[in-house]
A and B are shown apart, each in its own frame.
Chain A
């Protein structure tokens, strides 16, 4: 069976399981929609008070906000197996995966396709739609948006893989990774130009989240970068996502090789 067909089976099984409790599922989606919805009300309130932030209007900021929300919720849905990997590790369940003739990455991705975050995805899509009404769309821009979101899912997935890899050494997966995942989401909700240079550099060159949100976002908005990133960088930056993921998977391989089982 091809890896894709196998993943489809994993996903189908996971979805069937989650849809067993339909009412509770619907309630949780509604609650997350509310929870993330009021978060955007906070952004709106700041713009109602201040009018603009460093020359950016609410509808422009909404583009970054919507892109990063959609990206993160998609990654969160497929990457759950890596997110909760420390528990597997502690219970020695990784041994089972290692015994099977398939890659650990595929099996961990197949652990769960989480639907619970559908509320966040809906909210992100709504904000993105609001932002999109002000954009002069061309086929190239649509392609760039799709590439940015795909690249972003890769970048976030890379972070989750690194978080899981670190658990080989620390056992507990430490809350500090939240600074990069949730922290990355929070800071990319606003245009990167408003932050101090050390933070911008961290999220451009070390963790390439700006490459999948801020830089392509500038191209979509037809805005020049206040920081002077060249035009071509805006269009090619999403490629940093898959490149980052490849590096993280290399680290993962090193971690698996380092792994010693907890025993029976």
Chain B
């Protein structure tokens, strides 16, 4: 395990260097969060029938989405792309570590470090500042029960490994294509739409709910966020987490197989 931890910690420290960019990013994301909440607020005030989730739950959903935005698989690892292109991947092949583990560990760092940098100031704003300026209804409320909090912690961890498994798939694609741009756009579009980042999944039409809930993307955003606010509770929590882990397993097995196939194609020239 130690080499993988070392990879994570080295990448992690490197990614923590970009602090000014993170502060500017936080301001932008807070702005987006406020706009989104105002839009939903307007819709909720015009609602004739009771919406499928309470406004407080929706506000939590929106803020968690901004807080954890960087945890999602948005792009392939650009250094890994350079390694594949330049042939430096040969060095990685020589190391006595499992290559899938190596790529996965890099993904873990790049999904967590930027998130931590950004999430804390946004958490302070959404949970503490908003009530202070009289916008209590818009705040990020704490989980309603201890079970919801514990369930969220477990679901968030599962979401992280699921997101990293997606990330490795994007990295794998670089073994076949030059830039991977087309595939990356396809995946990010699916992530935005099917995970709940675009609009919370419960707000989609009722006939689509079952399919949306079973897709691997729901485990990235929708399931953990709804567990947090108590929208998914009781025995359903366990089933949601099981779905996340099940998809993770599928993606890891698929990713390992794909990486093995891809490596057979790699040609390293020169000495």
List residues of B (190-223) whose CB comes within 8 Å of A's CBs. 192-193, 198-199, 203-205
**Cβ of A38 < 8 Å from any Cβ of B?**
yes
How far is B52's CA from A174's CA once the two chains are assembled, in angstroms?
A: 38
How far is B198's CA from A190's CA once the two chains are assembled, in angstroms?
A: 15
Q: Is the CB of B28 within 8 A of A179?
A: yes
Q: Could you say which residues of chain B place their CB within 8 Å of the CB of A24?
A: 181-182
**Cβ of A129 < 8 Å from any Cβ of B?**
no
0/1 string, B1-37, CB within 8 A of A gives 1 = 0000000000000000000110011011001101100
Q: Could you say which residues of chain A place their CB within 8 Å of the CB of B186?
A: 31, 34
**Cβ of B257 < 8 Å from any Cβ of A?**
no
Q: Could you say which residues of chain A place their CB within 8 Å of the CB of B32?
A: 179, 183, 186
Query: Which residue of chain A is the closest to B21 with respect to CB atoms?
Result: A175
List residues of A (25-45) whose CB comes within 8 Å of B's CBs. 27-28, 31-32, 34-35, 38-39, 41-42, 45
Contact A190-B39, Cβ < 8 Å, known A49-B51, A50-B46: yes
**Cβ of A46 < 8 Å from any Cβ of B?**
yes
Q: Could you say which residues of chain B place their CB within 8 Å of the CB of A195?
A: 35, 38, 42
B interface residue numbers (CB < 8 A to A): 20-21, 24-25, 27-28, 31-32, 34-35, 38-39, 42-48, 51-52, 181-182, 185-186, 188-189, 192-193, 198-199, 203-205
A interface residue numbers (CB < 8 A to B): 24, 27-28, 31-32, 34-35, 38-39, 41-42, 45-46, 48-55, 172, 174-176, 178-179, 183, 186-187, 190, 194-196, 199
Residue contacts A-B, CB under 8 angstroms, 28 given:
A24-B181, A27-B181, A27-B182, A28-B181, A35-B188, A38-B189, A42-B199, A45-B204, A45-B205, A46-B199, A46-B203, A48-B205, A49-B203, A50-B47, A50-B51, A51-B48, A52-B46, A172-B21, A175-B25, A176-B24, A176-B25, A176-B28, A183-B35, A190-B42, A194-B38, A194-B39, A195-B42, A199-B34
